[in-house]
Structure 1
Amino acid sequence: MSLIKNRYGKGRVRVMRIHRDGEQQEVSQLSIRAMLEGDFAPTFTHADNRMTVSTDTIKNIVNIVARENTGLCAEEFCQVLARKYLDTYQQISSVAITSHETKWTRLSFDGKPHPHSFVLDANGRPTVEVTMTRTGGPALASGIDGFAFMKSTQSGWENYVKDRYTTIPETADRICATSMVASWAWSAKPESYPAANSHILDTLLKVFSTTYSKSVQDSLYRMGEAALAAVPEISEISMACPNMHFIPMNLSPFGLDNNNDVFLPTDEPHGQIECTVGRR
Structure 2
Amino acid sequence: MPLIKNKYGKGRVRVMRIHRDGDRHEVSQLNVKAMIEGDFARAYTHADNSTSVSTDTIKNVVNIVARENTSLCTEEFCQVLATKYLDTYPQVSSVAITAHETKWSRLSFGGKPHPHSFVLDGNGKPTVEVTATRQGSTLASGIDGFTFMKSTQSGWENYVKDPYTTIKETNDRMCATSMVASWKWSAKPENYPATNAKILSTALEVFGTTYSSSVQDSLYRMGEAALAAVPEISEISMACPNMHFIPMNLSAFGLDNHNDVFLPTDEPHGQIECTVGRG
TM-score normalised over the length of structure 2: 1.00
Which residue in the other structure is 1:119 paired with?
A: 119
Deviations 1:84-118 (A, max 9, x none): 00000000000000000000000001110000000
Return the alpha-carbon distance in structure 2 between the equivalents of residues 70 and 33 of structure 1.
18
Once residues 59 and 271 of structure 2 are traced to their aligned partners in structure 1, the CA distance between those partners, rounded to angstroms, is 29
Are 1:30 and 2:30 matched, yes or no? yes
Partner of 1:279: 278
User: CA–CA distance in 2 between the matches of 1:24 and 1:158?
Assistant: 25
1:211-261 per-residue CA deviation (whole Å, 9 max, x = no partner) reads: 000000000000000000000000000000000000000000001000100
1: CA distance, partners of 2:53 / 2:77: 21
Task: Give the alignment of 1:52-63 within 5 angstroms.
Answer: 52-63=52-63
Structure 1 position 158, deviation (Å):
0.3
Do structure 1's residue 220 and structure 2's residue 219 form an aligned pair?
yes
Specify the SS of the correspondent of 2:133. coil
Amino acid at match of 1:230: A
1:210 maps to which residue?
209
Aligned counterpart, 2:243: 244
Letter in 2 for 1:263: F
SS class of match (1:132): strand
C-alpha deviations, 1:42-96, integer Å up to 9, x for none? 0000000000000000000000000000000000000000000000000000000
**C-alpha distance in 2 between matches for 1:33 and 1:114:** 32
Task: Provide Cα deviations, 1:181-217, integer angstroms capped at 9, x if missing partner.
Answer: 0000000001111111000000000000000000000
The question of 1:21 aligning with 2:30 is answered no
> Could you report, residue by residue, the CA deviation over 1:154-195 in whole angstroms, capped at 9, with x for unpaired residues?
000000001110000000000000000000000000111111
What displacement does 1:134 show? 1.1
Q: For residue 133 of structure 2, what is the amino acid of its counterpart?
A: T
Counterpart of 1:197 in structure 2 is: 196
Q: Distance in 2 between matches of 1:111 and 1:277?
A: 28
RMSD: 0.4
1:117 maps to amino acid: S
Q: What is the 5 A alignment of 1:148-227?
A: 148-227=147-226
Deviation sequence 1:19-60 (CA, Å, 0-9, x none) = 000000000000000000000000000000000000000000
Could you tell me which runs of 5 or more consecutive residues in structure 2 were left unpaired when the two chains were aligned.
none
Q: 1: CA distance between counterparts of 2:135 and 2:149?
A: 44
Paired AA for residue 227 in structure 1: A
2-side partners of 1:266 and 1:252: how far apart? 21
Partner SS for 1:9: strand
Name the structure 2 match of 1:49: 49
One-letter amino acid of the structure 1 residue matched with residue 51 of structure 2: M
One-letter amino acid of the counterpart of residue 72, structure 1: L
Spell out the pairing of 1:71-110 with structure 2 (5 A cutoff): 71-110=71-110
SS class of match (1:218): helix
How far apart, CA to CA, are the structure 1 residues paired with 2:197 and 2:74? Answer: 32
User: Alignment partner of 2:106: what SS?
Assistant: strand
Tell me the CA shift for residue 135 of structure 1. Answer: 2.0
Letter matched to residue 216 of structure 1: V
Rounded to whole Å, the distance in 2 between the matches of 1:135 and 1:4 is 74
> In the alignment, does 2:256 pair up with 1:257?
yes
Match of 2:51, SS? Answer: coil
The secondary structure found in structure 2 opposite 1:217 is: helix
**Runs of 4+ more than 4 Å apart:** none
| Number of corresponding residues | 279
- Number of the residue aligned with 2:66: 66
Task: Letter of the 2:100 partner, please give it.
Answer: H
Once residues 132 and 81 of structure 2 are traced to their aligned partners in structure 1, the CA distance between those partners, rounded to angstroms, is 58
